[in-house]
Structure 1
Amino acid sequence: MAEAHQAVAFQFTITPEGIDLQLSYQALNQIYLSGVRSWKKRVSRIRNRVIKGVYPASPSSWLFVVIAILATMYMRSDPSMGLIAKIQQHLPLSLHVSLSAQGQTMLSALVFSTLLWFSLILALRFCLKLLLSYHQWIFEQHGRISNTTKVWVTLLRLLSSRKPLLYSYQTSLPHLPVPAIKDTLSRYLESVRPLLTDPKFKRMTELANQFESNLGNRLQRYLKLKALWATNYVSDWWEEYIYLRSRSPIMVNSNYYGMDFLYVTPTPVQAARAGNTITALLLYRRKVNREELKPVRLHVHPSTVIPLCAAQCERMFNTTRTPGTETDVLQHWQDSEFVAVYHKGRYFRLWVYRAGRLLSPREIEYQVQRILDDPSPPQPGEEKLGALTAGDRIPWSQMRKQYFSSGVNKRSLDAIERAAFFVTLDNEEQGMRGEDPAGNLDRYAKSLLHGKCYDRWFDKSFSIVIYKNGKSGLNAEHSWADAPTVAHLWEYTLATDAFQLGYTEDGHCKGEVDRSLPHPQRLLWDIPSEVQAQVHSSLAVAQALADDVDCHVFPFSEFGKGRIKKLRISPDAFIQIGLQLAYYRDRGGFCLTYEASMTRLFREGRTETVRSCSNESCAFVKALEGGEAEEQCRCLFKLASERHQNLYRMAMTGAGIDRHLFCLYVVSKYLGVESPFLKEVLSEPWRLSTSQTPVQQIELFDLKNHPDYISLGGGFGPVADDGYGVSYIIVGEDMINFHVSSKYSCSETVNNGCVDVQLQYHRDFRRLKGLHYSFLAILIPAVMY
């Protein structure tokens, strides 16, 4: 509607007397104000580039250097040791003619001061990079800090004392190092030792030794060359080969979900919840664009923090994954003033700015309500069009190229792909409610993971789902960023919605409404029969995948990290070892276990794998199940938790196993050589894939005064067909929320009537679900003093 509104900003008619030009001053004013907003953004970007470009110095420090140099020269001293005079000699001839000798000296001093200032900035940045390359602090025990780390803390505090912008640290972050191939192979063999029999381990050791002595060193040289040239030797290949080149559906297999508050729904009014949620997301986008968000940092010391790479924030909004025949492409636009909305089979473009002004939450609610009240039916082929993004990628690529590259279809598809994000107004009710709260919670998770397979746009960087009863959630595409980045956005959105924007007593958004707002624009389509046939095919593929996935969400509130930390044990290690115990009881053995760890201590870092199934964790589980003495179990558990923590720290600091081997494998493919060792390693299934969702902005949630405002976190589908996907979030001191997924088609993971004796949960839960309940209760007595 905005295009139409601007199109009538001026009208003209041709008369015998000439051209009669009629101007709409209201429309021209709208265009003017919109242009002002655009220029403000450009000025803000330029300003931020200057500020972050000179970090850790400040633009004002240039003036200090200039004054200091001029003051020194006034005292008849030459701080430049003759350089100012040399600069003066090399000034253009025109300046020699137009400027006096004193003016030439002043100009030369100014040039020298600027060059000195730039040199100081580079020196400070180099020093900061050296300091951020020091990672020994992460391996030191709490309360036992070495003198080296104490000095490091002091220097780091001095160099990073200025308030940084979101991207201020980017150029100072170190590059991810390439581990020595011998160390990686040694760590790999150690990780698979508890999973292999003696003959199989001997064979794997021989393969590793052959690889190291023959092909490995050659591949390593190429990888080191890439590490010298590229910002990060892993991230681009990881994004392309793990995500973008996958030709299978991204729904369930790649995309993941985030949930609303567990116990609270801030308003039952669907349009109002949409109004506040969309507003909160756009306020977050404004902070990202202006770089007003604080960089995410790890606390090393009460007054010292380590920055994490913020590169993933750049593609958070206005981003879409577009399908290709061989590989998909991530497309990002600088800005968009609208969101795409889906409701009952219809697509809309909802403008969220007017005349350069962000609409109020009440106005967005008003516009959303207009969409909800719109009685028009879907156009032929429109209702299930989103299934193209849920099925296989190649058919979607072919349909997009052939039928969506021109005309009305291209304009409507552009509106979706260029939108800030996607919004689904779901006509179902979800959440932990009714007579079967546990079952409804599971259905809520499944709905967010795949919905009806056609009512989400899975290609968007993220899609927001607002349910009929006011419950909300999101579905995120994985290639552009990892879960912690989206979790940071979602934390801000939930907190801003509930605690800052708020609602009136009758559940509506606050603020005034301009009822002259143009209606949301209905997107038009011309869907031929060939596309409709492919929509049905893609929907069948997606529906089969969705029907095969079982999800279970379990809020565990018997105890949380408060009680675990009193044992002087890492909560994450506690849970991971518990998962090993649960899996052992489920299958009678151990499996290759994936835990996601971040490498954002390095520039453009993404993730690394922590192989949680270790010799130490297996020894503890066997001892506990074998009825060993309590003291022996306690000792083994402590060793297992310390080992897990060390593995996690090594992964964070660039000494992981799997990304290095993955990149060596990519190099081998480019060289056209085969490695039996790498082929076998890369084909090993992760039957237990786990991830912790970190709570990054605790200050946003006042759990003391508002204990019901607890986030459920999010989850993902299983990685292996015969395995489990386990996500967990540690909330406050007394709760851990778990998300477990598996496939019905696997006989090993379907219901077999597991009974949890201690906590007496339902008989029809799958084995790991029941063990999920029990392992914490069983594990605590084993480690309590």
Structure 2
Amino acid sequence: MAEAHQAVAFQFTITPEGIDLQLSYQALNQIYLSGVRSWKKRVSRMRNRVIKGVYPASPSSWLFVAIGILATMYMQSDPSMGLIAKIQQHLPLRYRLTFDLQSVVVVALKVVWSVLTFKDQFCLKLLLSYHQWMFEQHGRVSNTTKVWVTLLRLLSGRKPLLYSYQTSLPHLPVPAVRDTLTRYLESVRPLLTDLEYKRMTDLANEFESSLGNRLQRYLKLKALWATNYVSDWWEEYIYLRGRGPIMVNSNYYGMDFLYVTPTSVQAARAGNTITALLLYRRMVNREELTPVRLHEAFPHLCASSAQCERMFNTTRTPGVETDVLQHWQDSEFVAVYSRGRYYRLWVYRAGRLLSAREIEHQIQWILDDPSPPLPGEEKLGALTAGDRVPWAQIRKEHFSSGVNKRSLDIIEKAAFFVTLDDEAQGMKGDDPTGNLDRYAKSLLHGKCYDRWFDKSFSIVIYKNGKSGLNAEHSWADAPTVAHLWEYTLATDAFQLGYTEDGHCKGEVERSLPPPHRLSWEIPSEVQDQIFSSLTVAKALADDVDCHVFPFRDFGKGKIKKLRVSPDAFIQISLQLAYFRDRGSFCLTYEASMTRLFREGRTETVRSCSNQSCAFVKALEGGEKTVNENSRLFRQASEKHQNLYRMAMTGAGIDRHLFCLYVVSKYLGVDSPFLKEVLSEPWCLSTSQTPVQQMELFDLKNHPDFVSLGGGFGPVADDGYGVSYIIVGEDMINFHVSSKHSCGETDSHRFGAQIAKALQDIMAVLSADTPSSSKGPAQPQSKKLL
């Protein structure tokens, strides 16, 4: 085979005269060019480390210092204007002999430069620790905040790299135990009877007076030592130590455009999508991505280097007690699954990234390959969909050596995983609503064996050209993946583009070797475990009830005209919908980010508040006037926004209590209060998918290119999972999930309740137009999220 010859650089034969070496110069040239690419990446990383290390100072400032030193040495001048000479006169004789003028100048200039650089970094960190601006109303900015904005602009004027702000961001503060307990009790008050609330208050008071302060001391010690006192424990105990399936329970998905499919050619869509993802990886490696801002005038969010760096070339490997995230510095190939077969697709040749057209050509070769799957190969991926312990044991026993290890290494070390699905998905057809629901389920779990759920993310390219993404959750949160997916969709459609017949643009180097088919030796014992894991995964997948619907009656444009936060409007609507659906309120989880702090991940906004419950009861009771209902709604909206700001600025509830619980386990002490708090079910789990790169999506000129966002599975067996994305000014897309096995939940019914709740609240606020114009202005923080 041609590709086999190119893979071997040296060939030799033994002759009577000695060893006859035959050098493959083409292969050697490939090795040389690949090495050049690797060294370029190393040089780029070294350069970026220097720039980040002195930010917000400029590395060029050190150049001026060096020039000053060389000029002084060359001209043999005394920049101290005689001061050093006078000091020499007063030194003992033995010190005068070793007192070198040039050394003093060099050291002095270095010290001055280092001090000034440290001063800039310290000042920037102090500025980024100021969060009061989030609590100010739009149009009512205090003088303190104005001065702060000016200083921040002056100090961070130079264009930053992706991670430039990392060392200047403040550490996540540890709230006081009393403050956290007070906020917790307030959050559960509408969910408990008077007797239950008194009991919970007594438990909280007992915890504070006995164990709380002891645990808090350990936590503060960790906060002094660690970069972030939450993130590492959150990653390990919430994600990596889970022994159940990560499919549905942890992994989440992202969808393609709602109305548009750029091409119906499956291989072409794969070619452009893979190319766009690799271009994004290149920008991450070079740190060319602009750090995400809350607003043009306000600080950068944490780029979360751990999340961005582990985006590619990363796999979650199973363990008996805990899983491990494995990351490799680079990978020049992707793993591809098609009709039960696995392939390695090289995306670089001679150190250059293949063109989109060349990748399409390689994908088409895979699609046209007539070879059947090997025994046990077709459903091998089910091992990553089932329970973690059996997968860990089988991996250790049967995939730690030989051909199986080599093939598994290729999948795990690949930049990412690609599935060429043999089904068509999307909204088009006679049943658009049902098609969207089936599309969501396909991305969430597929056939339970045609995705590799351990990879940091897997791309799915459907037969009709539709695409999607399935992401593993432990390494990053949804905003990081959403940023990647936004870039991919926009680059695919608007930058790379397609020819008139739907193929990728560019030329194909015909000497490209075909993709490498992976080999497996899967004994009957492994096949039995594949069947067992598939049975577990199928039962889980069949139980998921997904419903996706675009809400087109209005969007954030009409909501903001009423001077209301769109997120607060939606969250209160969800409270109303749940009350109508179940006849009660429940503990509600809304994910917020803590990326104003270094290595921040998420915090919980407990959206079910006393104020939101008061509004829902008043609206459903029908005894209040429109003005009174509107006033109650605005009080609930203000409360929700304040809860969101508190969570973002490190004054949340749940991460602090979680870490106190972890400390108690390390100390071997039990807390009835913490045990009860951590076991409370989130019957309504919600999340907003952010739109972060508006410059990539020109929705005014291309209104059909709206994103569907993404979703996740239900968190509680008797609850709902709700994800939503606010797209443009006139649309909100919702993803609702629940379980068929619960007779009290129904995703379609709840979706209808959400739509009606949105309409009813809009009717209340629109009818109260005069007073709405006098309502509190929307805060900058919520306006910009």
CA distance in 2, matches of 1:70, 1:353: 44
Cα deviation digits, residues 657-703 of structure 1 (max 9, x gap): 00000000000000000000000000000000000000000000111
Give the secondary-structure state (helix, strand or coil) at the position aligned to 2:590: strand
Does structure 2 conserve the Cα–Cα contact (< 8 Å) formed by 1:608 and 1:651?
yes
The alpha-carbon distance between structure 1 residues 268 and 207, as it changes in their structure 2 partners (threshold 3 A), is same
Structure 1 position 773, deviation (Å): 1.9
How big is the shift at 1:72? 9.9
Match of 2:219 among 202, 219, 223: 223
2:184 aligned with 1:188 = yes
Q: Deviations over 1:159-200 (max 9, x none)?
A: 100100011111111000000000000000000000000000
Aligned partners of 2:480, 2:526: CA distance in 1, in Å? 35
Give the corresponding residue for 2:585: 590
TM-score (norm 1): 0.94
Partner Cα distance (1:340, 1:522) in 2: 10
What is the correspondence of 1:471-490 to structure 2 with a 5 Å cutoff? Answer: 471-490=466-485
1:758 alignment counterpart: none
Q: Which residue of 1 aligns with 2:779?
A: none
Partner of 2:676: 680
Match of 1:370 in 2: 365
Take 1:674 and 1:84, find their aligned partners in 2: how far apart are those partners?
A: 70
Q: Any idea what SS the aligned residue of 2:717 has?
A: coil
- SS of match in other structure, 2:294: strand
Residue equivalent to 2:775:
none
Normalization by structure 2: what TM-score?
0.94
Q: CA deviation at 1:551?
A: 0.5
**Higher mean C-alpha deviation, range 13-22 or range 154-163:** 13-22
What is the deviation of 1:68?
6.3
2:63 match: 63
Q: Are 1:380 and 2:375 counterparts? A: yes
Partner Cα distance (1:579, 1:766) in 2: 14
Match of 1:608 among 595, 603, 608: 603
Q: Which residue of 1 aligns with 2:772?
A: none
Aligned to 1:632: 628
Greater displacement, 62-71 / 211-220: 62-71
Cα distance in 1 between the residues matched to 2:227 and 2:252 = 27
Structure 1 counterpart of 2:504, which letter? C
Q: Secondary structure at the match of 1:363?
A: helix
C-alpha distance in 1, partners of 2:5/2:179? 65
Structure 1 residue 65: Cα displacement: 3.9
User: Counterparts of 1:699 and 1:309 in 2: how far apart (Å)?
Assistant: 19
CA contact (8 A) 1:173 1:309 kept: no
Q: Which residue of 2 aligns with 1:556?
A: 551
| Correspondence for 1:78 | 80
Partner of 2:37: 37
Instruction: Count residues with an aligned counterpart.
Output: 760
Percent of pairs with identical residues = 81
The separation in 2 between residues aligned to 1:528 and 1:80, in whole angstroms, is 85
1:524-563 counterparts in 2 under 5 A? Answer: 524-563=519-558
| Conservation of the 8 A alpha-carbon contact between 1:166 and 1:293 | yes
2:110 matched to which residue of 1? 114
Q: Which residue in 1 is equivalent to 2:14?
A: 14
- 1:375 aligned counterpart, secondary structure: coil
Q: Which residue of 1 aligns with 2:317?
A: 322
Matched, 1:142 2:138: yes
1:516 to 511, 514, 525: 511
Which residue does 2:336 correspond to in 1? 341
**1:285 counterpart (262, 272, 281):** 281
Alignment of 1:409 onto 2:411: no
The answer to whether the 8 Å contact 1:85/1:105 transfers is no
Indicate conservation of the 8 Å contact 1:277/1:493, yes or no.
yes
SS in 2 for 1:223: helix
The match for 1:780 is 762
Structure 2 matches for 1:706-785, cutoff 5 A?
706-750=702-746, 766-784=748-766, 785=769
Counterpart code for 2:544? V
Q: Distance in 1 between matches of 2:760 and 2:40?
A: 59
Task: For 1:304 and 1:479, locate their aligned partners in 2 and report how far apart those are by CA, in whole Å.
Answer: 29
Deviations 1:722-752 (A, max 9, x none): 00000000001111000000000001003xx
Opposite residue 42 of structure 2, the aligned amino acid is R
The yes-or-no answer on 1:309 pairing with 2:311 is no
Report the residue type matching 1:469 in the other structure. N
Aligned to 1:151: 147
What amino acid maps onto 1:745 in structure 2?
S
Separation of aligned partners in 2, 1:446 and 1:172: 42
C-alpha deviation, 1:4, in angstroms:
3.8
Q: Are 1:130 and 2:130 an aligned pair?
A: no
Q: 2:249 aligned with 1:253, yes or no?
A: yes
SS class of match (1:766): helix
The unaligned stretches of length 5 or more in structure 1 are 751-764
**Closer/same/farther in 2, CA of residues 409 and 71 from structure 1, 3 Å limit:** closer
2:266 is aligned to 270
Structure 1 24/297 Cα, relative in aligned 2: closer, same or farther at 3 Å? same
The match for 1:762 is none
1:214 aligns with 2:210: yes
1-structure distance, mates of 2:338, 2:563: 50
Whether the 8 Å contact between 2:177 and 2:216 is mirrored in structure 1 is yes
Per-residue deviation, 1:19: 2.3
Change (3 A) 1:635 1:330: same
Question: Which deviates further from its counterpart, 240-249 or 766-775?
Answer: 766-775
- Name the CA distance, whole Å, in 2 between partners of 1:57 and 1:24: 49
Check conservation: 2:335, 2:416, Cα contact below 8 A. Answer: yes
Task: Mark the CA change 1:231 to 1:5 in structure 2 (over 3 Å): closer, same or farther.
Answer: farther
Distance in 1 between the 2:594 and 2:358 partners? 41
AA of the residue aligned to 1:458? F
Structure 2 residue matching 1:190: 3-state secondary structure: helix
For residues 83 and 503 of structure 1, the distance between their equivalents in structure 2, rounded to whole angstroms, comes to 74
Equivalent residues of 1:72, 1:78 under 8 A apart: no
Any conservation in 2 of the 1:84–1:112 contact (CA below 8 Å)? no
Inter-partner Cα distance in structure 2 for 1:67 and 1:354: 42
- TM-superposed deviation, 1:314: 1.1
- In 2: Cα distance, 1:767 partner to 1:7 partner: 58
Give the whole-Å Cα distance in 1 for the aligned partners of 2:314 and 2:412: 7
Letter of the structure 1 residue corresponding to residue 751 of structure 2: K
Tell me the alpha carbon deviations over residues 65-96 of structure 1, each in whole angstroms, 9 at most, x when there is no partner. 4556888999965399769989xx99x99xx9
Letter paired with 1:308: C
8 Å CA contact 1:84, 1:108 repeated in 2: no
The question of 1:203 aligning with 2:199 is answered yes
Query: For residues 304 and 660 of structure 1, what CA distance do their matches in structure 2 show?
Result: 26
Retained in 1: the 8 A contact 2:165–2:300? no
Which residue identity does 1:781 align to in structure 2? A
Structure 2 residue matching 1:166: 3-state secondary structure: coil
Match of 2:698 among 686, 697, 702: 702
- Residues 398 and 3 of structure 1: is their aligned pair in 2 closer, same or farther, counting only changes over 3 Å? farther
Letter in 2 for 1:360: S
Q: Secondary structure at the match of 1:563?
A: helix
1:610-647 Cα shifts (integer Å, max 9, x gaps):
00000000000001001111000000000000000000
**Secondary structure of the structure 2 residue equivalent to 1:298:** coil
User: What residue in structure 2 maps to residue 760 of structure 1?
Assistant: none
**Structure 2: gaps of 5 or more residues:** 770-785
Query: Shift in Å at residue 203 of structure 1?
Result: 0.4
> Which amino acid in the other structure matches residue 499 of structure 1?
F
Match of 2:52 in 1: 52
Matched residues in 2 for 1:543 and 1:430: separation? 20
- Secondary structure of 2:300's partner? strand
CA deviations 1:536-560 (Å, max 9, x no partner) are 0000000000000010111111110
For 1:365 and 1:432, locate their aligned partners in 2 and report how far apart those are by CA, in whole Å.
25
Give 1:284 shift. Answer: 0.2
